[in-house]
Amino acid sequence: MSFAHRSLCRITAIVLGLSSTVASLAGNWPQFHGPGGGGVAEGKAPPASFDIKIGANVLWKTKLPGLAHSSPIIWGDRIYLVTAVDPKDDEPQLVVGLYGNIEPVQDEGPQRWELLCVDRANGKLLWRKPALTAQPRVKRHTKATHANSTPATNGERIVAFLGSEGIWCFDMDGEVKWKKDLGPLDSGYYVVPDAQWGFASSPIIVDDKVIIQCDVQKDSFIAALKLSDGSEVWRKSRDEVPTWGTPTVYTSPEGKRRIVVNGYRHIGAYDLDTGEEVWRLVGGGDIPVPTPIVAHDLIYITNGHGAMNPTYAIRTSAVGDITPPDNETPKTEHIAWWNPYKGNYMQTPMVVDDLLYMCRDNGVINAMRAKTGEVVWGARIGGGMTGFTSSGVAAGGRLFYMSEYGECYTFAAGESEKQLGASEINENCMATPAIADGVLYIRGERHLFAIGEKSRQVKPRSE
């Protein structure tokens, strides 16, 4: 074999190896709401419909211990989830639906927090690694759990935020590398401080940093921790009431990376390296839940509780105080457009191609032009009396929305309303699904479901 031939073979092997790595990374879902928090997976779409009873398009169904709204994350051939197990109660209950009760669950005993690992191929629960067992420092809402936050991974470490029970960092086999106690984090209703609801903001990993947002009753802050050992890189105080959104990273036109967070008193962005404030915006819904997303050089932020239900499309070049002068100003220097009335209360939106998709907690969907805010089409799912808390996800031109009762509605992404399917998992669902390689992974109240194309209809494996 000639030198040139050997060199060509080596180059080909390197290219193929890189292609394989890129392909494998494309199949990952590393944090809440997927890559970058946008809710959109690369590759083909999962099936538009499925049937749990006969196993149609159900690859497997696996029973999970405990109770949690922590979404599944995916890296390689493994799925990771967090759960809270009540040793004295095998099936703690949720109260789902559209209602206004603000009272927390009373008289719950100690919980055991665990990191779970599931085989993507067959749904087998590979291991359960306990983090700690303790009496929760903060009560949960009747719709919530003691494990609401979704972990994040970079393929080497997994970071799980257990709220008042601290941050835990594991390796990919579930061994604890470090932990950090942040003290009680009470993110209940700021108007009625006794109404404890539980923590829900999820961590994100950016390079060698873990970014956490802790908007609570007292002493709110945002911080960057070293992924290697959990030590603080920076921490910035926030004059903010409790919120439940997850931070998002974006890049400014100058190439500077920023961290953006939702809020009520302080929607804003911070420099990734120093934590210095870049811009801020005051006002909106007073208990923000949705996570910011980024597309078309715009940052989309929405919230929908209280006096306002806004959606903002903020330019990635924004600096300073960008609060609009009044509700009648449709755009400013730093805000491409905003709408004070069509915001989401619970769900994080998503952008597919040139459309922004919003789904409110009562099942009203609005498809809007991402660059202008013009409403292109609208639809209602769930009949108007069904709650929608988990965020929509998308792949291959299909949109998937889960109701709190476990109904899955599928729509085609595009310029006109086109519903493709409606299916049920036959149990409650509050966690946001994940998508990887054309498979939809749904965490229900008791099981994890893998929904994908099947060549023949057989009963799914279940345990």
The model's confidence at residue 7, banded by pLDDT at 50, 70 and 90, is very low
Residue 277 main-chain phi, psi, to 5 deg: -65, 135
Taking residue 156's Cβ as centre, other Cβ atoms within 10 Å add up to 11
Task: Reply yes or no on whether the pLDDT at 13 is more than 50.
Answer: no
Instruction: With 0.75 as the threshold, say if the pTM is over it.
Output: yes
Structurally, the chain folds into a number of domains equal to 3
The span from the CA of 320 to the CA of 342, in Å, is 25
Could you write out the three-class secondary structure of 374-391? CEEEEEECHHHCCCCCCC
Q: Are 340 and 331 in contact (CB under 8 A)?
A: no
C-alpha gyration radius of the chain: 22
In a domain, residue 144? The reply is yes
User: How far is the first Cα of the chain from the last one, in angstroms, to the nearest whole number?
Assistant: 54
Q: Are 440 and 400 in contact (CB under 8 A)?
A: yes
In a domain, residue 411? The reply is yes
User: Are residue 300 and residue 395 in the same domain, yes or no?
Assistant: no
Percent of the chain with pLDDT over 70: 92
Burial 358-373 (b: 16+ CB within 10 A, else e): bbbbbbbbbbbebbeb
In a domain, residue 367? The reply is no
The pLDDT value recorded for residue 6 is: 41
The pLDDT value recorded for residue 249 is: 98
User: Are residue 186 and residue 253 in the same domain, yes or no?
Assistant: no
Q: What is the pLDDT of residues 286-326, one digit of tens each?
A: 999 999 999 999 999 999 888 889 999 999 999 999 999 88
User: What is the CB-side half-sphere exposure of residue 322 using CA atoms within 13 A?
Assistant: 28
The pLDDT value recorded for residue 461 is: 55
Q: Are 140 and 186 in contact (CB under 8 A)?
A: no
In a domain, residue 372? The reply is no
The pLDDT value recorded for residue 90 is: 81
Q: Pick from 246, 269, 303: which residue ends a domain?
A: 246
pLDDT (average), residues 77-93? 93
In a domain, residue 15? The reply is no
User: Are residue 179 and residue 258 in the same domain, yes or no?
Assistant: no
In a domain, residue 155? The reply is yes
Task: Reply yes or no on whether the pLDDT at 9 is more than 90.
Answer: no
Mean per-residue pLDDT of the chain: 92
User: Are residue 57 and residue 78 in the same domain, yes or no?
Assistant: no
Q: What is the pLDDT of residues 122-181, one digit of tens each?
A: 999 999 999 999 999 999 999 999 999 999 999 999 999 999 999 999 999 999 999 999
In a domain, residue 429? The reply is yes
Q: Are 283 and 322 in contact (CB under 8 A)?
A: no
- By residue range, what is the domain housing residue 307? 248-345
DSSP symbols for 230-264 = --EEEEEE----------EEEE-TTS-EEEEE--S
Token pair for 418: 């086109």
The span from the CA of 337 to the CA of 298, in Å, is 10
Q: What is the pLDDT of residues 15-70, one digit of tens each?
A: 333 333 333 456 899 999 999 999 999 999 999 999 999 999 999 999 999 999 99
User: Are residue 297 and residue 307 in the same domain, yes or no?
Assistant: yes
The span from the CA of 461 to the CA of 463, in Å, is 7
- What is the sign, positive or negative, of the torsion defined by CA atoms of 245, 386, 395, 336? negative
Q: Pick from 318, 345, 372: which residue ends a domain?
A: 345
27: nearest Cα among 149, 147, 131, 120: 120
pLDDT (average), residues 355-367? 96
The span from the CA of 107 to the CA of 103, in Å, is 12
Taking residue 148's Cβ as centre, other Cβ atoms within 10 Å add up to 28
The pLDDT value recorded for residue 22 is: 36
CATH of the domain at 405: 2.40.128
